[in-house]
A and B are shown apart, each in its own frame.
Chain A
């Protein structure tokens, strides 16, 4: 069965622009969560969606937002990009709460 798919794999954007990243979870998984990974801060939780509802949010500014569709696919959006937003953005899916979370390959975002 297919794993978690994230698109695009690589992205280069200019400061001030906005970006949308996409995540398709494993079939049957209803929970999708997003993480930011940087060398300095490690893996940081952004937010989690379950059945189209945001259940939890990390300590990131409002420029970071997300949504989940009825087919469980999720998108995250970052507006007014800053240089510090350069990171590997990872999406994870799980069947239910408190079960194994499987990660996609990530989207490498570079802001110049």
Chain B
């Protein structure tokens, strides 16, 4: 169905390490978005992807829209303490009945040890 499986659920890494997380689904998505959420705040958009195979960077962040349109990954290079937070993938499912609707993954909690 229209579920997104995000992994890993949590990560505890050393400052300076690279991080990778991904989302998969059995359904096709038209758009993939990656967000970061700090406690008590709304999600902040990091990267938006619109085409299968698209690879986009935003500073130390890189994300890709899977070629099958059923998955996406986010990489963070050279992590720093302020990268701490919860990262969510979100996608707009394919199909006319899904206009304006985002499905969210369960989130990846990232902790960075200085």
Contact = CB atoms under 8 A, between A and B. Distances in A.
Contacts of A94: 100
23 contacts: A6-B42, A35-B104, A42-B105, A43-B43, A48-B99, A48-B100, A48-B101, A56-B97, A56-B99, A56-B100, A90-B42, A90-B43, A92-B102, A94-B100, A97-B100, A98-B30, A98-B50, A98-B92, A100-B45, A101-B90, A103-B44, A106-B42, A108-B40
Interface residues of A, number: 28
Contacts, number: 64
A48 B33 CA distance: 17
A76 B100 CA distance: 16
Interface of B: 30-31, 33, 35, 40-45, 48, 50, 88, 90, 92, 97-107
B99 A97 contact: yes
Given A56-B100, A103-B42, A103-B45, 4 more contacts: A43-B102, A48-B100, A50-B99, A58-B101
Contacts of B92: 98
Interface of A: 4, 6, 31, 33, 35, 42-45, 48, 50, 55-56, 58, 90, 92, 94, 97-106, 108
